[in-house]
Structure 1
């Protein structure tokens, strides 16, 4: 199943810089591993915001929830999820 996920990050200003650096490094490693595995298909930064739009390809809602809740920044995020279906007028069978 394909899902569009918008993630808006709000790191508290009073979080120590050392802790912020650690969580950001862990977030990058985790997200890049999910991309290598193919479940995190695309990620785009939203210009001017600490936000992204991503496309996930997972088996079901439960798998998506597990991946998202495993994000090191999860507790600092507002997340919106939209399930996606191929449009009947699409000329491609995949997202290439």
Structure 2
């Protein structure tokens, strides 16, 4: 099972810089071990405010209990809180496609089909959406897609050359008129397994 984990670290005031550096070194080493074991799949930094330590991680574990063991084994957990979102397979997931040069983005989709839409029209739009998702995956733009808890919600991992290109890609989706989209630009995290292993 895969999970998106929002990790927020708050170092207590007065903690010596040397102690922080030592924990960060141990965290990087543990991240490499978890990546090699297949538990840490990806790691990103979302936009941060000054002094904020936050990262987004894609983790794999057999169940919630194993995920908690994995997260608890990480040295920064002494100062960090983790917000876990379980991810479920999505029928349009291209499974980890090769990454093009560009910026990665996470998108949260909430779909609301307008009341009164004929069932066949909704079904046809879903089929066109699936075809478009495959096209975008083939072009290296759509990297992953998961279902989120709740009704008609999904999480996407994308690659685009710029925020404007990302916006144009989203507008090209057949379901765009029915979607509310939250887009988060991502930057590389030094412990991202894609950099360590790939």
Aligned equivalent of 2:158: 56
Question: In the alignment, which residue of structure 1 is the partner of 2:121?
Answer: 19
2:174 pairs with one of 54, 69, 72: 72
2:184 aligned partner: 82
SS at match of 1:5: strand
Taking the aligned partners of 1:94 and 1:42, their CA distance within structure 2 comes to 20
Structure 1 counterpart of 2:106: 4
For 2:119 and 2:165, locate their aligned partners in 1 and report how far apart those are by CA, in whole Å.
Answer: 32
Q: What are structure 2's unaligned runs of at least 5 residues?
A: 1-102
Structure 1: runs of 5+ lacking an equivalent: none
C-alpha displacement of 1:45: 0.7
SS at match of 2:132: helix
For 1:11 and 1:23, the matched residues in 2 are separated by 10
Distance 1:28 1:92, change over 3 A: closer
Query: How many residue pairs align between the two structures?
Result: 96
State the match for 1:46 in structure 2.
148
| Aligned with residue 132 of structure 2, among 4, 8, 30 | 30
Q: Deviations over 1:26-63 (max 9, x none)?
A: 11100111112211011111134211111111100111
The normalised TM-score by structure 1 is 0.89
Say which structure, 1 or 2, has more relative contact order (CA 8 Å, 6+ apart). 1
Give the distance between the partners of 1:77 and 1:47, measured in 2 at CA: 16
State how far apart, in whole Å, the 2-side matches of 1:52 and 1:44 are: 6
1:51-84 C-alpha deviation (Å, 9 max, x unpaired) = 1111111100111111100111101011000010
Equivalent position of 1:93 in the other structure: 195
Which TM-score applies when normalising by structure 2? 0.45
